[in-house]
Structure 1
Amino acid sequence: MSGAPSFNILMYSHDTYGLGHIRRTMAIAEQLREYDTNILILTGSPIAGRLNFPKHVDYVRVPGMIKKANDEYFPLTIRIDARQAMEIRQSIIMATVTTFLPDLFIVDKEPQGLKREVMPALEWIKENLVQTKTILGLRDIMDDARLVIEDWKEKDVYSTISELYDEVWVYGEEEIYNPVLEYDIPRTVQDKLHYTGYIHRRVPETHQVEELRLGLNIMKNEQVVTVTTGGGGDGFLVLDSYLTMLEKMKAEMILPPFQSILVTGPFLSKDEKEVILERSQELGVHAYEFFSNMETLISASDMVVCMGGYNTMCETLSLNTMSLVIPRETPRKEQYIRAKAFNQQNLVEFIKWDQVDASTLKEKIMWMLEHKEKYMDAMDRFEMNGISNICRRIFKHRDDKNGIFE
């Protein structure tokens, strides 16, 4: 290590449900750890302990919460009052900020945190850590524009960003989706905004992919379709439709020209998970609740059938693996908007949620496997500069702190 003082980065990921926020945060943290930094992640993810945290990266777990309805949140596992749980979370966040003393505080997606839990920390930093930079990280698409504008105006989010954040990083490309126009972002916030580009994922070594395929008894030239629904909480329709497709092919004595691998996600309900695993076993299909190294699995696949969350899209594009997207449209339209935008670039194909069935799936999958070049060419042209641009911003802040100027 160099003799320069360490640079402390604190990353907040509220993680009420699903895998999206913690996986995006981990992807960024993994790339930054090689430099002279300490990274601490604040997360409410119930699966944080199942993730592989690299050297110089650690996490602080706050009580998990789950959204029931109308912006109401309740403890995910512990049997205490929701207000108590939120007070514990806020206390842990404040204690971490005031002891870790971050040089950079990156807040993922929620400018005020869950139920405004990050506000006291942001205000304390502004008053007491004048050299600390506060960063709001936003995925490419949040939701339907009208709903985002209404929500941000009601919660006074525009003022929060203007007054308490130094920069806003959009993990996307302005040409694909322009949040300034879509979300009516005022000039005071526009001046803080930086498009980083999409976040590239780690590309596994060839031998790692070969070893995984061998372990799954996949022949060298055999095609593989992987089905993943992220956290899985709302993914039963996708998994069920895919298995129905395979069951109909079996009944018609049609041998699929590919092997199938299913990853249900840890948040699929127990009853639904049992159904999926039992049907998969009857079909001789590999099925998992959780796969710790999704990058290698996706790289070993010829196609991924998924729901179109930000992280899955970044993984398939980073690994040049075709994807057939079945985007959910409730409670947010983010996945559907992204699927349409990427489809216009020939990066993905998609089926609307209310139009998915076994026949449509079969038709789309077979067509895509026979026309790979269309998607491979588009993915080859698609640049993913998110990590390099994020590193460039962080280096600037680190050098400013250490008095190094170009």
Structure 2
Amino acid sequence: MTLAPRIAFPPPRVRRRRRVALYSHDTQGLGHLRRNLMIAEALAGGDDAPAILLLSGAIQLRLFALPPAADCVTLPALRKDVDGTYAAESLHLSLEEVVALRSATIEAAVTAFAPDVLIVDKVARGSFSELEPTLAALAARDDARVVLGLRDVLDAPTAARREWAQDRTSEAVERYYDQVWVYGDRRVYDPVLAYGLPDAVARKVTFTGYLGGPGRLASHGNLPPPADAYVLCAVGGGQDGYALGAAFAEARMPHGVVGVLLCGPYMPDAARQDLERRAAATDRLRVMRFSADPGPLVANARAVVGMAGYNTAVELMCAGVPALLVPRVEPRLEQLVRAARLAELGLVDALHPDDASPAALTRWIAGAVTATRPRRADRPGKAVDLEGLARLPGLVASLTGAPGLFGVRGGLDRAC
């Protein structure tokens, strides 16, 4: 028997390129996935950019072009049904079986990749605690750092505190995490105070600023802004955006202005097809299915009507265009809290979804398009920290290279 020749691998370098892994649970919507992709894009710039591994079960990941030096592990997907229960998206497996498969896949991938930093989006233990074995393995290393990334608002305070306690998040943060990054500005909303987080967690919190800035996501076909003057309606991932989209489709546009409706990849086919039929019957409405980076569409619009998800809100604050937020109010009040707070600061207008009739949208659009008022981003006294993406490379570098951080699982003081 002839043996295959052995491959001569080059000797390992003394200083390897840093490695960062990003985990996002994928039970509903595009927000978590897009946020981690923007973080990966921010970390990928420069000569000393780390190798980046994304872990997600969202099949929509294939719609995006990954940044340089990044790759992904796509987990067996989960879905959240309308009654709030979870199941495997495609595999004929029980929930317990698919979670066990995901957990083993994550542990194997992270063990082989050996990241210097693992950044976990929102759910400290992962979906159904699927991250627990991986977190325990990383805690046993003295050269790995773990970060929990939180959006500005999790839910209304009572509900957020209850879920935080049920998921034993404080215990997980104390045991496994070095830092907690809040992707927001504490002057806008401070979850540490709102949710009464214990001191052991609060000491690890750093406010990064909102994840705005020049970062742009690439995709396999981003949509260019229309040449005509337009008002944009953005309904996030689209899974529950039909009602707002239908109201916008029936709203009257000012003379010389068209309506552009961005459906999102999760909008059910029947709902999207209905909106497309409405658009086909008029030259004042256009329907777009998906854009990986809606930023240019937002920035070039005369005004924007949108839901109040984190990414949409940040894009609107960056663009400074007149904006009306119509928040989701089920199954959680996160968007309602965010919309109310931004409206209180004068950064946006807000309307409860029960009041978002075609007539109400027509009145708001007419005022927003014709009013002579400064762009919101230029109004004095309304400055919001939108530089989070620019700060992330420095935060990662401080975790992996600053003296005195290794060997103490505790993290930095709170940002001021």
Query: Bigger CA drift: 387-396 or 7-16?
Result: 387-396
Does the aligned pair in 1 maintain the 2:42–2:392 contact within 8 Å? no
For 1:271 and 1:224, the matched residues in 2 are separated by 25
Residue 391 (structure 1) aligned with residue 393 (structure 2): yes
Contact 2:235 2:263 in 1 (8 A): yes
How far apart, CA to CA, are the structure 1 residues paired with 2:133 and 2:108? 11
Decide whether the 8 Å contact of 2:184 with 2:385 is kept in 1.
Answer: no
3-state SS in 1 of match to 2:281: helix
Shift of the alpha carbon at 1:311?
Answer: 0.5
- In the other structure, the counterpart of 2:129 is 116
1:240-259 map, 5 Å = 240-246=246-252, 256-259=255-258
- Structure 2 residue ranges without an equivalent (≥5): 1-12, 217-222, 407-416
1:83 matched to which residue of 2?
96
**Contact 1:322 1:376 (8 Å CA) reproduced:** no
CA 1:335 to 1:271, structure 2 compared with 1: closer, same or farther past 3 Å? Answer: same
* Structure 2 residue aligned with 1:148: 160
Query: What residue in structure 2 maps to residue 137 of structure 1?
Result: 149
Root-mean-square deviation (Å): 2.3
**In the alignment, structure 1 residue 8 sits paired with structure 2 residue 19:** yes
- Determine which structure has greater relative contact order: mean sequence separation of CA pairs < 8 Å that are 6+ residues apart, divided by chain length: 2
Where has structure 1 moved over 6 Å in runs of 4 or more?
401-404
Q: Residues of 2 paired with 1:257 and 1:141: CA distance?
A: 38
Question: For 1:6 and 1:328, how far apart are their aligned partners in 2?
Answer: 42
After superposition, the Cα gap between the structure-2 partners of 1:403 and 1:233, relative to the gap in structure 1 and judged at 3 Å, is closer
The corresponding residue for 2:413 is none
CA positional deviation for 1:373: 1.3
Give per-residue Cα distances to partners, 1:1-30, cap 9 Å, x unaligned: x99520100000111121100111111110
Alignment partner, residue 224 of structure 2:
212
- For residues 182 and 71 of structure 1, the distance between their equivalents in structure 2, rounded to whole angstroms, comes to 25
Which residue does the alignment assign to 2:262? 263
Bigger fraction of residues in helix:
1
Q: Distance in 1 between matches of 2:270 and 2:85?
A: 25
8 Å contact 1:12–1:43 — kept in the other structure? yes
Q: Is the 8 A contact 1:231 1:265 kept in 2?
A: yes
**Other-structure match for 2:184:** 172
Counterpart Cα distance in 1 of 2:299 and 2:59: 26
Deviation of 1:381 (Å) = 3.2
Calculate the TM-score normalised by the size of structure 1. 0.89
Mapped partners of 2:21, 2:75: distance in 1: 14
SS in 2 for 1:338: helix
1:321 and 2:321 aligned: yes
* Kept in 2: contact 1:346–1:374 (CA 8 A): no
Structure 1 position 239 matched with structure 2 position 245: yes
Q: CA deviation at 1:71?
A: 6.0
| One-letter identity of the residue aligned with 2:308 | G
Partner-residue secondary structure (3-state), 2:22: strand
Work out the CA distance in 2 between the residues paired with 1:364 and 1:311. Answer: 22
Question: Which one of the candidate residues 150, 165, 172 is aligned to 1:160?
Answer: 172
The within-5 A match list for 1:309-348 is 309-348=309-348
Give deviations 1:334-375, integer Å, cap 9, x for gaps: 111111111122111111111110111111111122144162
Say if 2:109 is the partner of 1:103. Answer: no
Once the two structures are superposed, what CA deviation does each residue of 1:370-406 show, in whole Å capped at 9, x if it has no partner?
Answer: 14416242398333121233222112123238999xx
* In structure 2, distance between residues paired with 1:123 and 1:298: 42
Tell me the TM-score normalised to structure 2 length.
0.87
Deviation at 1:80, TM superposition (A): 2.3
Q: Which residue in the other structure is 1:183 paired with?
A: 195
1:207 alignment partner in structure 2: none
Give the number of equivalent residue pairs: 383
Q: Given the alignment of the two structures, is residue 351 of structure 1 paired with residue 351 of structure 2, yes or no? A: yes
Q: 1:60: which partner in 2? A: 73
Q: Deviation at 1:203?
A: 6.4
CA contact (8 A) 1:203 1:318 kept: no
Matched, 1:20 2:31: yes
- The aligned counterpart of 2:288 is 288
CA gap of 1:57–1:401, structure 2 versus 1, over 3 A, is farther
The C-alpha deviation readout for 1:158-205, integer Å capped at 9, x for no partner, is: 11111111100000111111111211100111110101110114367x
- Find the residue that maps to 2:53 and give its secondary structure: strand
* Distance across 2 between alignment mates of 1:212 and 1:61: 28
Q: Distance in 1 between matches of 2:359 and 2:234?
A: 19
Matched, 1:43 2:56: yes
Q: 1:117 to 1:401 in 2, by over 3 A?
A: farther
Structure 1: distance between partners of 2:259 and 2:403: 51
Question: Structure 1 residues 331, 403: CA separation in 2 closer, same or farther (over 3 Å shift)?
Answer: closer
Secondary structure at the aligned position of 1:47 is classed as: helix
